[in-house]
């Protein structure tokens, strides 16, 4: 295998990887607003009507039972809202920076593996093409 063939194969693989990264940006599907509002409204109506159903049997015990059940149901709704979009900057979101850094480290290790039949200038060109295809002129791994 000549150096150009190895370079082309590696370049194609890295460009495919960058296309996959760009495809991740399209994963912005969240629960529609109408569905979320309807779910919240239905939960409110259920919790309010449940108290009227239980008050005749449980009397004062209805208050803590309704409190716990309402807390539980609205907790589930809030949990669903939090996990519907795991890509962001909230505390509970996925750490994509760490994930990308690991992929970058592994990719760099694969590219610079000593047994590869690729010359150093080709490696630098591959790395620069990969960075430009993902980040443009922005380099998140550059130490400031």
53 contacts 46 by C-beta, under 8 angstroms: no
3-state secondary structure 115-126: CCCCCHHHHHHH
Quote the domain boundaries for residue 62. 33-83
Q: What pTM does this model have?
A: 0.47
Same domain, 79 and 40: yes
Is residue 101 assigned to a domain? yes
How many domains are there within the chain?
Answer: 2
Give the Cα-Cα-Cα angle 32, 35, 39 (nearest 5 degrees).
140
Same domain, 45 and 20: no
Q: Give the rounded percent of residues in the chain with a pLDDT score beyond 70.
A: 69
Is residue 143 assigned to a domain? no
Give the Cα-Cα-Cα angle 108, 109, 111 (nearest 5 degrees).
65
Same domain, 54 and 78: yes
Same domain, 7 and 41: no
Same domain, 43 and 60: yes
Q: What is the pLDDT of residues 17-65, one digit of tens each?
A: 777 777 666 555 566 778 888 888 999 999 889 989 888 988 999 999 9
């Amino acid at each position: 295998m000549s150096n150009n063939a190895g370079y082309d194969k590696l370049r194609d693989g890295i460009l495919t990887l960058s296309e996959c990264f760009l495809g991740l940006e399209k994963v912005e599907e969240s629960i529609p607003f109408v569905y979320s509002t309807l779910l919240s409204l239905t939960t409110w109506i259920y919790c309010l009507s449940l108290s009227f159903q239980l008050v005749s049997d449980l009397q004062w015990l209805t208050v803590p039972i309704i409190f716990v059940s309402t807390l539980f149901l609205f907790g589930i709704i809030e949990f669903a809202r939090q996990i519907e979009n795991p890509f962001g900057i909230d505390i509970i979101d996925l750490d994509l920076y760490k994930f990308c850094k690991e992929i970058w480290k592994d990719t760099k290790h694969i590219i610079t593996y000593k047994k590869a039949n690729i010359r150093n200038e080709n490696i630098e060109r591959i790395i620069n093409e990969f960075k430009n295809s993902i980040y443009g002129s922005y380099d998140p791994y550059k130490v400031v």
